[in-house]
């Protein structure tokens, strides 16, 4: 199906065997490349494996930082692992093999389970000849510390001022270390005919002695235990993709040495090319499926993202590459809603209300004392109500963005007027669903006044969204003193929320889904476009985060459409439609360009601004989190309309995540 290789299994886990030679692609704002990457990791580091047999190590513990890039080679005499014809990408490991008439070498680089800040390297050597084989085995890495901090335009080479000491060692043998430069460790190997040996190395930031063979075995066993499995007759791809997505999603986490908890940012161009963690809504929504798979990590991400904020309840748009609040570009009006949603879903799934008594810090730049997580969330609710507020039509103000960072410009309304007084029907619809769910949490925590206000505001917003039905779809926004945005064109992002919050009647919901199927979805193999008709001169776009809500909403009224949309979201669907495009083969961006684009199946670029997802179009966690969350919603796993606790919301046992398991919250 894909020109790059085939799916297979390794160590009892899904893996991809890469067989292709150089396949050039265009990053748009960077030089052309033929390197294709896969990101895997644990709860501390990311291993970036590539089609040339090389690797990089990324550590976001203190900021957006590379430890090493395109390095890591094993040599056994004339055999070199960067010359391997076949590479195997596993969910937390990378494996290559090379051989000649005398010897065979297989090298596996593994991210051990947990918050381990180094990679484990296993090298297996076999004597294929008829005489004793004696050769030096070397492990070679180049340490190249690099900070990535708000790089828009040409890449900069900025070394962090506090670069860590990085080490390479053979277990039980030589150890070398540096803050910058090459590291090599050599081992003399002697094997009888037919003999086999295993040599263990590690590379990174060392944190104590371990038994490498035991750690290797326990890490793979732990991975097999924690990854969900799935069998879905309507979507056989789920058997491979659900555990794969779960591994790559959790592999994007990093223990945060500044704010505590774990980061779970978008990755892709945002982090690895442009050097920032944003928007704040993104780690929050990436953590939503983890509520039901690895709830401790979901809670850790919630705490971390709440710690970005200020004591008045505001969340900055992003953190820069040095983990400082970045507010210069966008000030969205939706971000508090995502924190309230993640918190409420966590409480409903786990029943863990004690977590909300524990203190959470504010960003150190504010010099404020920590408060209980419950109070942090209450302040975020107050900020949403009192500071974001509503406009003259009673809808949530849009500020200079809602979910759509470019909605202001695309609305063709005076920018400053729209920022000051414009209103977002999208955020009204989302709030009409989120606030009652949050109210259930607030009530469980004994805050009945907040719960009552949240429910009242949700009811008011739901009614206002219901009034935005124009007979075909729901309008998108309101401009002060002007007509509504979205009267004559369908903005997809608002439509599922109008269904989910109950603003759409069942008849309207069914009619709206038919319209979406006939317009936004028509002829689009990767799923529904975000606008219809596609604005003249612009490519249609397919966004994971929007189509997740479409699947969720459709599951209530048209399950066939919902399952079909989920299948279009899969990696298999991308490989079938665009087999020669690496983006979407094992990982993807936040958005694909639709068939009418001149680059269908690739992703967006704004070269005039020096910004491009196409510059680093894989390892965006939306491409892994949203299929997982959509799959859970297809199974009926969600909090009910009142944010009920765990006796109503039944989570899914991760190792046995199968269609039909557990109870639906709507059962």
Token pair belonging to 645: 């606790």
Q: How far apart are CA 9 and CA 488, in angstroms?
A: 49
pLDDT at 407: 84
Confidence of residue 207 (pLDDT cuts 50, 70, 90): confident
Token pair belonging to 557: 């009224």
Does 401 score more than 70 pLDDT? yes
Does 117 score more than 50 pLDDT? yes
The torsion of the CA quartet 266, 270, 272, 273, rounded to 10 degrees, works out to: 160
Once rounded to an integer, what is the mean pLDDT over residues 126-133? 96
pLDDT at 660: 33
Once rounded to an integer, what is the mean pLDDT over residues 520-541? 95
Predicted confidence (pLDDT) per residue in 354-388, tens digit: 999 999 999 999 999 999 999 999 999 999 999 99
Does 532 score more than 80 pLDDT? yes
Does 221 score more than 90 pLDDT? yes
pLDDT at 157: 87
- Beta-carbon contacts of residue 662 (< 8 Å; ≥ 6 apart): 635, 637, 650, 651, 652, 653
What is the three-class DSSP state of 393? coil
Once rounded to an integer, what is the mean pLDDT over residues 504-531? 98
Please report how many Cα atoms fall inside a 13 Å half-sphere around the Cα of residue 250, on the Cβ side: 30
Of 309, 305, 448, residue with least CA distance to 384 = 309
Does 586 score more than 70 pLDDT? yes
Q: How far apart are CA 603 and CA 612, in angstroms?
A: 8
Does 655 score more than 50 pLDDT? no
Confidence of residue 52 (pLDDT cuts 50, 70, 90): very high
- Bridge partners, 539 (sequence order): none
Once rounded to an integer, what is the mean pLDDT over residues 297-310? 98
Confidence of residue 40 (pLDDT cuts 50, 70, 90): very high
Does 291 score more than 50 pLDDT? yes
Average pLDDT, the chain: 94
Does 128 score more than 80 pLDDT? yes
Predicted confidence (pLDDT) per residue in 240-263, tens digit: 999 999 999 999 999 999 999 999
Listed in order, strand segments (DSSP E) in 1-117 are 5-10, 13-18, 37-41, 45-50, 55-59, 65-71, 73-76, 79-80, 87-89, 93-99, 103-110
Once rounded to an integer, what is the mean pLDDT over residues 282-299? 98
pLDDT at 650: 40
Once rounded to an integer, what is the mean pLDDT over residues 1-14? 96
Q: Please state the three-class secondary structure of 296-348 as a single string.
A: HHHHHHHHHHHCCCCCCCCCCCEEECCCCEECCCCCECCHHHHHHHHHHHHHH
- Bridge partners, 10 (sequence order): 13
125 near 105, Cβ under 8 Å? Answer: yes
* Angle (deg, nearest 10), helices 448-466 and 373-382: 40
Once rounded to an integer, what is the mean pLDDT over residues 119-141? 97
Lowest pLDDT segment from 49-63, 264-278, 410-424: 410-424
pLDDT at 663: 27
pLDDT at 646: 41
Once rounded to an integer, what is the mean pLDDT over residues 554-570? 98
Higher-scoring residue by pLDDT: 533, 86: 533
What's the chain's length in residues? Answer: 667
Please report how many Cα atoms fall inside a 13 Å half-sphere around the Cα of residue 273, on the Cβ side: 24
Token pair belonging to 118: 């180094």
pLDDT at 645: 53
Confidence of residue 216 (pLDDT cuts 50, 70, 90): very high
């Amino acid at each position: 199906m894909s020109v790059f290789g085939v799916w297979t299994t390794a160590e009892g886990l899904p893996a991809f065997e890469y067989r292709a030679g150089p396949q050039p692609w265009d990053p748009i704002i960077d030089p052309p490349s033929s390197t294709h990457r896969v990101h895997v990791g644990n709860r501390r580091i990311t291993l970036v494996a590539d089609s040339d047999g090389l690797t990089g190590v990324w550590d976001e513990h203190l900021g957006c930082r590379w430890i090493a890039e395109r390095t890591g080679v094993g040599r056994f005499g004339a055999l070199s692992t960067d010359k391997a014809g076949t590479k195997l990408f596993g969910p937390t490991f990378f494996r290559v093999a090379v051989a000649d008439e005398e010897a065979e070498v297989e090298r596996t680089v593994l991210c051990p389970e947990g918050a381990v800040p180094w990679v484990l390297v296993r090298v297996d050597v076999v004597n294929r000849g008829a005489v004793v084989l004696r050769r030096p085995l070397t492990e070679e890495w180049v340490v190249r510390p690099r900070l990535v901090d708000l790089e828009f335009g040409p890449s900069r080479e900025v070394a962090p001022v506090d670069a860590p000491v990085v080490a390479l060692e053979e277990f039980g043998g030589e150890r070398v270390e540096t803050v910058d430069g090459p590291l090599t460790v050599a081992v003399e190997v002697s094997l009888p005919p037919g003999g086999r040996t295993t040599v263990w190395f590690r590379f990174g930031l060392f944190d104590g002695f371990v038994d490498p063979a035991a750690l290797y075995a326990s890490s793979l066993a732990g991975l097999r235990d924690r990854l969900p499995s799935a069998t879905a007759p309507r979507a056989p791809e789920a058997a491979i993709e659900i555990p794969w997505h779960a591994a790559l999603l959790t592999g994007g986490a990093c223990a945060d040495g500044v704010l505590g908890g774990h980061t779970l940012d978008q990755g892709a161009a945002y982090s690895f090319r442009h050097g920032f963690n944003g928007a704040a809504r993104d780690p929050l929504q990436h953590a939503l499926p983890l509520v039901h798979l690895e709830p401790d990590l979901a809670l850790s991400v919630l705490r971390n993202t709440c710690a970005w904020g200020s004591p008045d309840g505001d969340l900055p748009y992003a953190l820069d590459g040095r983990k400082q609040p970045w507010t210069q570009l966008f000030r969205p009006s939706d971000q508090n809603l995502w924190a309230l949603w993640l918190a409420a879903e966590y409480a409903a799934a786990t029943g863990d209300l004690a977590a909300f008594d524990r203190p959470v810090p504010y960003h150190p730049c504010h010099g404020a004392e920590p408060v209980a997580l419950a109070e942090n969330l209450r302040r975020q609710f107050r900020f949403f109500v009192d500071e974001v507020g509503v406009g003259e039509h009673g809808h949530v103000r849009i500020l200079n963005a809602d979910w759509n960072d470019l909605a202001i410009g695309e609305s063709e309304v005076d920018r400053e007027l729209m920022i000051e007084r414009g209103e977002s029907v999208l955020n009204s619809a989302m709030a009409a669903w989120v606030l009652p769910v949050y109210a259930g949490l607030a009530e469980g925590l004994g805050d009945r006044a907040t719960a009552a206000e949240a429910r009242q505001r949700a009811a008011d917003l739901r009614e206002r969204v219901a009034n935005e039905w124009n007979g075909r779809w729901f309008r998108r926004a309101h401009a002060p003193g002007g007509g509504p945005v979205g009267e004559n064109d369908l903005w997809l992002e608002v439509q599922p929320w109008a269904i989910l919050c109950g603003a759409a009647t069942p008849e309207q919901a069914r009619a709206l889904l038919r319209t979406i199927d006939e317009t936004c979805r028509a002829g689009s193999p990767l799923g529904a476009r975000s606008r219809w008709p596609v604005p003249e001169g612009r490519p249609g776009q397919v966004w994971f985060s929007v189509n997740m809500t479409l699947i969720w909403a459709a599951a209530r009224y048209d399950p066939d459409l919902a399952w079909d949309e989920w299948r279009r979201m899969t990696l298999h669907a991308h490989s079938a439609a665009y087999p020669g495009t690496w983006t979407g083969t094992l990982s993807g961006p936040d958005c694909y360009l639709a068939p009418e684009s001149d680059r269908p199946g690739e992703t967006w670029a704004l070269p005039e601004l020096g910004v491009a997802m196409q510059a680093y179009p894989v390892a965006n966690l939306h491409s892994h989190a949203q299929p997982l969350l959509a799959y859970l919603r297809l199974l009926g796993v969600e909090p009910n309309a009142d944010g009920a606790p765990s006796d109503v919301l039944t989570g899914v046992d991760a190792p046995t995540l199968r269609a039909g398991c557990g109870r639906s919250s709507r059962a």
